[in-house]
Amino acid sequence: MRTIIVETANRFARDLMTAESGFAFLKMQGITLIAADSPSAFLDDSPTATLIRQILGAVSQFEKAMLVAKLRVARERKGKLGGRKPVPQPVKDRARSLRNEGLTLRAISPSRP
């Protein structure tokens, strides 16, 4: 008997369709899927167990979508508020020429208060 153990049922896949199709594929191949936090999550074949597994998969998919949305907003906010600004080419050229003249990077960089 071949077995795959996953940490949690929602770590198997973060997308409901992927989880269900992956589970069905493994089952057809004779591979048992076990979630360490809930060993019977993939073993029970009752309609109730299937419903619960699918609901938990949908919740996992929702949580992933919310996390992606929050991260996108945070990246956009960081871009508007700061972050690295591009260095103009003339500044790069001048720094390169000063470096070629033997100055250290510390000597070339602007002093900070």
What domain range is 83 assigned to?
2-108
List helix spans (H) across 46-88.
47-81
User: Do the domain assignments include residue 36?
Assistant: yes
CATH number (domain holding residue 7) = 3.40.50
User: Do the domain assignments include residue 33?
Assistant: yes
User: Do the domain assignments include residue 92?
Assistant: yes
3-state secondary structure of 88: coil
Global pTM reads 0.57
Number of domains in the chain: 1
- Give the Å distances, CA to CA, from 16 to 31, 39, 46: 19, 19, 18
User: Do the domain assignments include residue 113?
Assistant: no
Span 4-43, pLDDT tens digits = 999 988 888 888 899 899 999 999 999 999 989 888 878 8
